């Protein structure tokens, strides 16, 4: 049992609640995105393999598009992506991403491995999902 230094004659530790100073908080919160698409079962291992070594130019474009905390998950043929967008104009940043030559090459490589949802919005490849719960 830890006596927190009392055997050395030290006063008991007082546990302080630590909260960040209001001026240290970010000025804005990110927009959170969840997206879904199917992956062709016969292409899933290849999909995992290429995502273990995403091309540096693609990663730089994602970062330049103000996207952070980006993950892709898999379950039973479904891919779910999550990311946070910190910019002010998502559509403009996505147009810049779509215009990037390296990113277009990456998509040309990955899109044949995927099956978009029939219910997707025109112009979308991955379908945006509705956020139904969030806890910071």
How confident is the model over 67-117, as pLDDT tens digits?
A: 999 999 999 999 999 999 999 999 999 999 999 999 999 999 999 999 999
- The yes-or-no verdict on residue 65 having pLDDT over 90 is yes
Asked whether residue 115 is domain-assigned, the answer is yes
Asked whether residue 11 is domain-assigned, the answer is no
Asked whether residue 15 is domain-assigned, the answer is no
Asked whether residue 68 is domain-assigned, the answer is yes
User: Binning pLDDT at 50, 70 and 90, where does residue 57 land?
Assistant: very high
In the chain, how many domains are there?
A: 1
CA distances from 43 to 38, 39, 40, 77, 104 (A): 11, 7, 5, 10, 19
Asked whether residue 20 is domain-assigned, the answer is no
Higher pLDDT, 2 or 117: 117
Range of the domain at 54: 32-128
pLDDT tens across 23-35, in order? 445 557 899 999 9
CA distance 39 to 75: 10
Q: What is the mean pLDDT of the chain?
A: 87
CA distance 112 to 108: 7
List the structure tokens of 42.
């016969």
Segment (H or E) for 110: helix 101-110
Asked whether residue 133 is domain-assigned, the answer is no
User: Binning pLDDT at 50, 70 and 90, where does residue 1 land?
Assistant: very low
Asked whether residue 103 is domain-assigned, the answer is yes
Residue 24: what pLDDT? Answer: 45
Asked whether residue 9 is domain-assigned, the answer is no
Residue 136: what pLDDT? Answer: 85
Residue 119, domain CATH: 3.30.70.100
């Amino acid at each position: 049992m830890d006596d927190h230094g009392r055997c050395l004659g030290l006063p008991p530790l007082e546990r302080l609640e630590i909260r960040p100073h209001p001026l240290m908080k970010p000025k804005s919160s990110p927009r959170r995105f969840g997206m879904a698409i199917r992956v062709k079962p016969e292409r899933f291992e290849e999909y995992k393999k290429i995502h273990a070594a995403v091309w540096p130019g693609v990663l730089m474009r994602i970062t330049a598009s103000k996207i952070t905390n980006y993950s892709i998950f898999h379950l039973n043929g479904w891919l779910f992506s999550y990311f946070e967008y910190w910019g002010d104009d998502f559509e403009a940043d996505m147009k810049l991403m779509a215009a990037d030559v390296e990113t277009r090459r990456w998509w040309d490589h990955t899109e044949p491995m995927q099956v978009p949802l029939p219910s997707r919005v025109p112009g979308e490849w991955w379908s945006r999902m509705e956020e139904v719960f969030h806890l910071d």
